[in-house]
Every structure is written in C-alpha cells, then in structure tokens.
Amino acid sequence: MGIRKAGPDDLKMIYEHAHNVRNEAVSGGISPDEVEPVTPSDIIDGGGYYLVFDDEQGMKGWIGVGRIINHKAGWITGIIPEVFVFPLYRSQGIGRQLCEAACRQLKREGCKKVQLNVFKGNHAKELYEKLGFYEVSSLMEKYL
C-alpha cells in the first residue's frame, strides 16, 4: 500500500467526489456553481493520470497529474490539476506525500517545472508554499 497509479475503481470514486473537490477548491469566495469540476476523463483524455494514496483501510486521497509542452521555452511543464485528501485523513502528511510523489514522477518524465492553480482562500496554499511552489500570476475578475 502507499502511493500508486489509479485503477478503474479508483477513478470511479474520484469521479463521484469531483463536486467535493470543486467546492473545497473555491471556498475562498467564488461560488462553486461558477467553476466546472475537473473530472477524471478531463485529466486522462488530456494524457494525464491520477496517483492515489491508500492503505489497508482504503483510499485516503489522490492527485491529478498532467503535462503541457511549452514550445516557446522548449520544455515540458508538469501540471497538478487537483489534490484531494478526505477530511478524516488530513493533517497526516498525505497531501505532502502525494505532491512529492507527483513531482518525482514528473521529473522522471522530463518536466522542468510543475505548476498548479490554487483559488484564493484555499487552505492548501500553505502546503504548496512549504513544498516550494510560489505565486507567479494573479487572476482577477469583475462581474458586469
């Protein structure tokens, strides 16, 4: 047990919880109804995959992993479209382990850097900063 690539049963569970992932990701002020949840098919159809953390008690969390080619810079950038740990298992280092495993895997796949998006107010931002991620842009919007 530990971290492994997601199988079909895992993907089914991940899909069933897509709304929970979306709702938590945008908890900082954006209405969840305004954000499309990422689905396993979005990630997998784009050439990505999921890594899951499980043990004898079952799945405790997952991370989506993808890649984009930066043609201008001439390298591959890793993308983490979602990280989710079930509330009962948070603050146990699972999110950190998933992020570190994804980064190691992306490096083996030739990625020069990894990017992720975090909404304002998302409690996971502190974890990402501890892992060495830093802010590179700010998305702003206005209702008309």
The end-to-end CA distance of the chain, in Å, is: 50
All structural domains of the chain? 2-131 (3.40.630.30)
Within 8 A by CB and 6+ apart from 113, the residues are: 75, 77, 78
Distance CA 52, CA 39 (A): 15
Q: Is residue 19 scored above 60 in pLDDT?
A: yes
- 66-121: pLDDT as tens digits: 998 888 888 899 999 999 999 999 999 999 999 999 999 999 999 999 999 887 77
* pLDDT greater than 70 at residue 37: no
Between 38 and 117, the higher pLDDT residue = 117
Q: Where are the beta strands (DSSP E) in 35-74?
A: 49-55, 58-70
Q: How far is CA 91 from CA 60, 96, 123, in A?
A: 12, 9, 11
* pLDDT given at position 30: 61
- Mean pLDDT over residues 29-57, rounded? 78
Instruction: Using alpha carbons, list the distances in angstroms from residue 3 to 63, 69, 83, 102.
Output: 10, 26, 13, 10
Give the C-alpha distances (Å, rounded to integers) separating 114 from 1, 68, 101: 26, 10, 12
Encoded tokens for 119? 């909404």
Question: pLDDT tens-digit profile of 45-65?
Answer: 888 999 999 999 999 999 999
Look at residue 137 in the predicted model and tell me its pLDDT.
Answer: 84
CB-CB contact of 23 with 64 (8 Å): no
